[in-house]
Structure 1
Amino acid sequence: MSDPDIEELRARYLPRLQAEAEALRQASGETAANRRPVELDQQSVGRLSRMDAMQQQAMAAAQEARRSGRQRAIAAALKRLEEDDFGWCEDCGTFIGFKRLDLDPTLMRCVSCAS
């Protein structure tokens, strides 16, 4: 099988990358309230409730950090699609492969170079 051209790669992966980017943006907006600092007013909330709220806030912040990392990876993949570099290993220059890209279209290395 010959290597694919960039238009084939765009047709196959651009909609998927754009949809995931939009879903991440929406999720980030929907969970913004969960990442706000916890009120420390001892009159309105007990100690255990504050601790629980602080734990939930920390988990929401960690989730947002992971979401942000994924958004950066998607933005980089979209840029590679734009610049006709998508799908090619950044180390050896060979085609990464459809099966690998189908698992994660943000990957930048073939199996050999990744291991």
Structure 2
Amino acid sequence: MKQDEKIYLKNQIKEKIEKLKAEIIVLKDLTQPISPDCAIGRVSRMDAINNKSVNEAALRKKESQYTALKNALKNIDSDDFGKCIKCGKMIPIGRIMIMPESKKCVNCANR
């Protein structure tokens, strides 16, 4: 990977991390417990519980992506950065630019 690509990628990762931080804050607020004394109907309460479950799943996914991006940023200067952990081949730069947290090439990720 060329130096200018690394610089660009570092900036992209930092932007994604900041965006994820904001999304995580919103999702944490949306996953707060629903108070039983809140004056909403039974159907509305069931809908709120369902939405809470969906938001909890989204929160877990965002937190996982956040951690992976932080690790990618930490390891970007490593010689192994951009190598598939399964087959050892270099991951195409296009995939790294789109998903810098990728640890596998497309072929290995689909297996």
User: Shorter-normalised TM-score: what interval?
Assistant: 0.7 to 0.9
CA-CA distance at 1:109 after TM superposition: 2.3
> Which of 73, 87, 95 in structure 1 is aligned with 2:90?
95
Matches of 1:70 and 1:52 in 2, distance apart? 27
The separation in 2 between residues aligned to 1:28 and 1:98, in whole angstroms, is 28
Structure 1 stretches of 4+ moved >6 Å? none
Match of 1:67 among 62, 65, 74: 62
Aligned pairs (5 A) from 1:21-40: 21-40=17-36
Q: Provide closer, same or farther for how the CA distance between residues 110 and 53 of structure 1 changes in structure 2, counting only shifts above 3 A.
A: closer
Q: Percent identity?
A: 27
TM-score in terms of structure 1 length: 0.79
Point out where structure 2 has 5 or more consecutive residues left out of the alignment. Answer: none
Single out whichever of 59-68 and 71-80 deviates more from structure 2. 71-80
Separation (CA, whole Å) in 1 of partners of 2:81 and 2:54: 33
Aligned equivalents of 1:99, 1:24: Cα separation in 2 = 21
| TM value normalised by structure 2 | 0.81
RMSD: 2.1
Whichever of the two has the greater Rg, that structure is 1
CA distance in 1, matches of 2:107, 2:44: 50
Q: Report 1:72-91 matches (<5 A).
A: 72-91=67-86
Whether the aligned pair in 1 keeps the contact of 2:82 and 2:103 (CA below 8 Å) is yes
Verify the 8 A CA contact 1:9 1:86 in the aligned structure 2.
Answer: no
Aligned length: 110
* 1:41-63 CA distance string (max 9 Å, x none): 27x22211211111111111111
Counterpart Cα distance in 1 of 2:69 and 2:28: 21
Write the distance in 2 (CA, Å) between the matches of 1:53 and 1:74: 31
Q: Distance in 2 between matches of 1:68 and 1:98?
A: 24
Amino acid at match of 2:32: R
Q: Which runs of 5+ in 1 are unaligned?
A: none
1:41 and 2:37 equivalent?
A: yes
Relative to structure 1, the CA distance from residue 79 to residue 53 in structure 2 (aligned partners, 3 Å threshold; closer, same or farther) is same
